[in-house]
Amino acid sequence: MWNEVFANWRDSEGSNPVWQDFAKDVKGWNSWEERRLHQSNQMGADKRSWQLYEIVGPNELVPKFKIGPFASWQNNFKIKNKHTFQYLVQNHFNWVTANTGVNSIRLNFPQKTMFIGIYLPEDDSITMFDGTHRATAVALAKYQNDSIEFDLNPLIAITILDNEDRQLFNNMLRIGSGNNK
């Protein structure tokens, strides 16, 4: 199923010139796909079992998801890989509202959207692997007593990361998504 999940990711984000340029100019990769394959390979995504779910009540649920192991987001916190999007918005409001990606998505949220998440049974929580800007936009709207209008409930592809694999998060944060050749 990972091939289908990755194909959806490529179709939605990989075709966006902003993300293509980010992969090349900021992260040092030859392409969006090369960067995202690097990230997904760090957690062995293609070897994991994935399930697809509908997010019912996304304005309530999505802000409770945790932020994934991405340095530019985790640098807001002393303790890494622990915080929800709701916590981010409540405690780093100025940083969130200065994020042009979050603001752009909030104003024009993609109606057909799929997040990629990792379920952590130890915490009974979902951590975002893809969809950080979208999740932050939902959390920001909720924080401001507003909501995102969903014509369709978003989907989320989820895999389970058992406790023994949890170190992968710290490794991903340490390695990052840049091309460090």
Q: What is the DSSP letter of 1?
A: -
> What's the rounded mean pLDDT across residues 134-159?
97
> What is the residue range of 75's domain?
49-175
Residues 139 and 64: their CA atoms lie apart, in Å, by: 8
Res 161 pLDDT > 80: yes
Q: Tell whether 44 is covered by a domain.
A: no
Q: Tell whether 32 is covered by a domain.
A: no
Q: Tell whether 142 is covered by a domain.
A: yes
Q: Tell whether 29 is covered by a domain.
A: no
Fill in the amino acid letter for 23.
A
Share of the chain above pLDDT 90, in %: 60
Q: Tell whether 144 is covered by a domain.
A: yes
Res 177 pLDDT > 80: no
Q: Can you give the pLDDT at residue 100?
A: 93
Q: Can you give the pLDDT at residue 149?
A: 94
> What's the rounded mean pLDDT across residues 76-92?
91
> What's the rounded mean pLDDT across residues 94-122?
94
Q: Which of 7-16, 112-121, 158-167 has the least mean pLDDT?
A: 158-167
Q: Can you give the pLDDT at residue 80?
A: 78
Whether the CB-CB separation of 93 and 141 falls below 8 Å is answered with: no
Q: Tell whether 135 is covered by a domain.
A: yes
Hey, what are 118's tokens? Answer: 């990792």
At 76, is the pLDDT very low, low, confident or very high (cuts 50, 70, 90)? confident
Helix axes 100-107, 132-143, angle to 10 degrees: 70
Residues 100 and 120: their CA atoms lie apart, in Å, by: 30
Q: Tell whether 103 is covered by a domain.
A: yes
Q: Can you give the pLDDT at residue 172?
A: 75
pTM of the model: 0.91
Residues 154 and 146: their CA atoms lie apart, in Å, by: 18
Res 176 pLDDT > 70: no
Q: Tell whether 152 is covered by a domain.
A: yes
Q: Can you give the pLDDT at residue 169?
A: 72
Number of domains in the chain: 1
Res 85 pLDDT > 60: yes
- pLDDT digits over 11-65, tens only? 988 888 988 998 899 888 899 899 888 889 888 999 999 999 999 999 999 999 9
* 125-130 and 114-120 beta bridge pairing: antiparallel
Q: What is the mean pLDDT of the chain?
A: 90
Fill in the amino acid letter for 57.
G
